[in-house]
Amino acid sequence: MASITPFRALRYDPKRVSPQDVVTQPYDKITPAMREAYYSASPYNLARIILGKPEAADNANNNPYSRAAQYFHAWRREGVFLQDVLPSIYLYAQSFTAPGTTIQMERRGFIALGRVEDYSASVVFRHEQTLSKPKADRLQLLRATRAHFGQIFMLYSDPGNEIEGVISTDAPPDTEVHDEYGVQHRIWRISDPALLNLVQGKMRDKKLIIADGHHRYETALNYRNERRATAAADSSRGFPRQYSSEKEFVDRQKDEIAPYELAMMTFVNMDSPGLLILPTHRVVHGLESFSAEKLRTSAGAYFNVTKVDGNLDAARASSLLHQSGQSGTAFLAVVKDGAFLLDRPKTSSASVFAGFSTRQQALDLVRLHKCVLEGALGLSEESIRNQENIRYIRDAGEAIEQVRSGECNVAFLTNAARMEQVRDVAFASEVMPQKSTDFFPKLLSGFTIYALD
């Protein structure tokens, strides 16, 4: 099922640059302020490639994508990036404190190349919808650079923890950095052929779920399809010169996996206790006729609505949500001068779930979107998808503050989705609402680079 391949990664030469100064958060988690900090940290910081700054004079030939390609090729020529001699996989460990707690955790996985599969093949499964704009952006970068700089975060099931046990090591890491959120990231290169073969064999029967990187995965699919079409057109005009006959060319194509058929991925055991999913809260803004009392009345058609302490802070909100969520759906609506708990869904809400499976209907965020955002507030599905009146915020304290300051109308605080919910929805080839999961911490970009050429 899952086809993984060791590879000779390009990596920053630690004699030229400090890894601490050049690796970054994933491109879609880099704020303008973070980009400025990355640019200041080093002239070789990866942000110049994965999230380059636009310029006033940009045109079809000179733009962030063309400059990314220029940086990438120049840094390769200069030896800033060096290619490993042996095909390898890369053990990746992240040690962190769970946000809002004092609990110490560690999540381990490994970086390798994974074959890009159509969803219809039932090998790779998504759990969220994607948007066209981010995919168009990443496709332009991939076309320009012909390289993958960040890993797609993949989940597989291994209840006995066999794979992680095989690649575990007590040796000092090859690379170690600490990120903006206090997370320790460590990388070890593993190139023993027997060990690589063992891991490949153990992964062969696995199904994969995309945890993070849906847009980049579908970009890799689109790019693969483009390159396949080009290869087919080339072969129709005759086989390449390096082959002695067309038969040899065809035979070699069967035996070899073209570089564009693969993408760089980090594989993590979904059964690991180090896997942490955080909630992503919804904050609604820009509603001129918003009324807290009207929302409370309208939401009452779908849920039991209970007034709670309007001065609650993030810690109290989290505790209340956790307690209320033990018996089913629960979320908090925080308005400028108060707050109320929505729980115990009413049977009258069933009519809004046409087209949703029972698995999807059980999700808190499906109920929040369909019953409250669309039903009670009247937001359209399209406006939610385009984020016209909604923000997605991980930090509950920040969400509350945006409402109490008058900047936003209402914040909806939620519990996190559970891993078994993500698994069941994904394996049923269904999807959750956008921004349903926040796997923490993020995988840093720049530890390994997969160049297609």
**Which domains can be identified in the chain, with CATH numbers?**
4-276+441-451 (no CATH), 280-415 (3.30.1760)
* Helix, strand or coil, per DSSP, at residue 33: helix
Quote the pLDDT of residue 245.
Answer: 57
Mean pLDDT in residue range 53-75: 96
441 cis-preceded (ω within 30 degrees of 0)? yes
Q: Predicted confidence band at 248 (pLDDT cuts at 50, 70, 90)?
A: low
Q: Predicted confidence band at 61 (pLDDT cuts at 50, 70, 90)?
A: very high
C-beta of residue 163 within 8 angstroms of C-beta of residue 89: no
Mean pLDDT in residue range 8-22: 98
Partnered with residue 281 across adjacent β-strands are 393
Considering only residues 40 and 353, tell me which one the structure prediction assigns the higher pLDDT. Answer: 40
Q: How far, in Å, CA of 361 to CA of 157, rounded?
A: 25
Q: Is the dihedral of CA 175, 192, 124, 255 positive or negative?
A: positive
The pair of structure tokens assigned to 127 is 């759990």
Q: Which range has the worst mean pLDDT, 44-53, 90-99, 141-150, 345-354? A: 345-354
Quote the pLDDT of residue 346.
Answer: 87
Quote the pLDDT of residue 352.
Answer: 85
Q: Predicted confidence band at 310 (pLDDT cuts at 50, 70, 90)?
A: confident
C-beta of residue 341 within 8 angstroms of C-beta of residue 329: no
Quote the pLDDT of residue 253.
Answer: 53
C-beta of residue 421 within 8 angstroms of C-beta of residue 259: no
The CA–CA distances, whole Å, from 443 to 25, 35, 178, 379, 396 equal 7, 17, 12, 33, 22
Q: How far, in Å, CA of 345 to CA of 363, rounded?
A: 12
**End-to-end Cα distance, the chain:** 26
Stated as kind and residue range, the H or E segment containing 11 is strand 10-12
What value, to the nearest 5°, has the Cα angle with vertex 195 and ends 83 and 163? 110
C-beta of residue 313 within 8 angstroms of C-beta of residue 397: yes
Quote the pLDDT of residue 81.
Answer: 98
Q: How far, in Å, CA of 188 to CA of 172, rounded?
A: 8
Quote the pLDDT of residue 263.
Answer: 98
Residue 380 has pLDDT above 90, yes or no: yes
Q: Predicted confidence band at 314 (pLDDT cuts at 50, 70, 90)?
A: very high
pLDDT tens-digit profile of 35-49? 999 999 999 999 999
Q: Say which residue the tokens 């991939």 belong to.
A: 142
Q: What are phi and psi of 177, to 5 degrees?
A: -140, 165
Pairing of the two strands 281-284 and 10-12: unpaired
C-beta of residue 147 within 8 angstroms of C-beta of residue 69: no
pLDDT tens-digit profile of 397-423? 999 999 999 999 999 999 999 999 999
C-beta of residue 3 within 8 angstroms of C-beta of residue 446: no
pTM, two decimal places: 0.93
Q: Predicted confidence band at 275 (pLDDT cuts at 50, 70, 90)?
A: very high
pLDDT tens-digit profile of 140-167? 999 999 999 999 999 999 999 999 999 9
> What is the chain's mean pLDDT, rounded?
93
Quote the pLDDT of residue 240.
Answer: 59
Helix intervals (H) in 274-373? 292-299, 314-325, 358-361, 364-367
Q: Which range has the worst mean pLDDT, 55-59, 73-77, 142-146, 265-269? A: 55-59
Q: How far, in Å, CA of 30 to CA of 38, rounded?
A: 9
Write the burial class of residue 427 (CB in 10 Å: 0-12 exposed, 13-18 middle, 19+ buried). middle
Partnered with residue 448 across adjacent β-strands are none
